[in-house]
């Protein structure tokens, strides 16, 4: 079924008098209704509410598309439905984290009251910007998975999808180069492998706390 909306009446490019909403029922049978702009907005608001998107949009200040994707993930994933962080970290978990590994560490940090920023853009000149601002490829140095700041420390945290032994020579050289640049700029760098996050999550969080001075 495909709902169709057409402009009815005068359209000056700035204002529209009315809209015709056509809902197909079966075959050539349709339901048609002429609505004003305000009526159409009310209709849209009611649809968003009924679908369960409204609370998500208001909580995370996100779009209908984002709310739909979050709702769909919650509905199809038992871990999401039963999550104690539901409606607290759903947006960052679903829309900002780039891997299940990041999602796992995000939830562990949140449960330990560690306020981490995701996907901070750190440029070569030590200026920063924040997700979802675009990345300038000529200026960017790195985008840590998590960034934590204390009174006297700036900590970049990476969840590498490979062990230290699995990294290619290029990856190892690149990572070491980034680490040196960050350290020169005053950052502390922490890198954790897949096995560390999956199998030693509590130890990983404690290690981060130690780096923070907690």
The whole-angstrom separation of Cα 140 and Cα 125 is: 9
Find out whether 40 and 21 touch, Cβ atoms under 8 Å: yes
The 10s digit of each residue's pLDDT in 9-29 is 665 555 667 888 888 888 778
Q: What pLDDT does residue 17 have?
A: 72
What is the pLDDT at residue 69?
A: 96
Q: φ, ψ for residue 123 (rounded to 5)?
A: -90, 165
State the first-to-last Cα distance of the chain, in angstroms, to the nearest integer: 56
Q: What pLDDT, on a 0 to 100 scale, did the predictor assign at position 103? A: 96
Q: Which residues of the chain have pLDDT under 50?
A: 164-165
142 has which bridge partners?
122
**pLDDT value of position 157:** 98
Backbone angles phi, psi at 169, to 5 degrees: -60, -40
């Amino acid at each position: 079924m495909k709902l169709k909306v057409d402009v009815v009446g005068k359209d000056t490019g700035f204002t529209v008098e009315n809209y015709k909403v056509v809902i197909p029922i079966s075959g050539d049978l349709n339901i048609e209704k002429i609505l004003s702009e305000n009526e159409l907005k009310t209709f849209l608001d009611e649809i968003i509410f009924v679908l369960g998107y409204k609370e998500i949009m208001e909580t995370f200040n996100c779009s209908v598309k984002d709310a739909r994707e979050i709702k769909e993930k919650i509905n199809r994933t038992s871990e999401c439905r039963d999550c104690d962080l539901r409606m607290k970290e759903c947006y960052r978990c679903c829309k900002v984290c780039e891997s299940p590994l990041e999602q796992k560490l995000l939830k562990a940090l949140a449960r330990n009251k560690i306020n981490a920023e995701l996907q901070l853009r750190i440029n070569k000149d030590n200026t920063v910007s924040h997700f979802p601002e675009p990345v300038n490829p000529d200026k960017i140095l790195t985008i840590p998975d998590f960034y934590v700041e204390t009174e006297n420390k700036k900590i970049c945290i990476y969840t590498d999808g490979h062990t230290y032994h699995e990294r290619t020579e290029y990856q190892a050289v690149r990572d070491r180069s980034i680490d040196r640049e960050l350290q020169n700029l005053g950052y502390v760098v922490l890198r954790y492998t897949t096995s560390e996050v999956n199998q030693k999550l509590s130890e990983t969080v404690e290690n981060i706390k130690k780096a923070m001075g907690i």
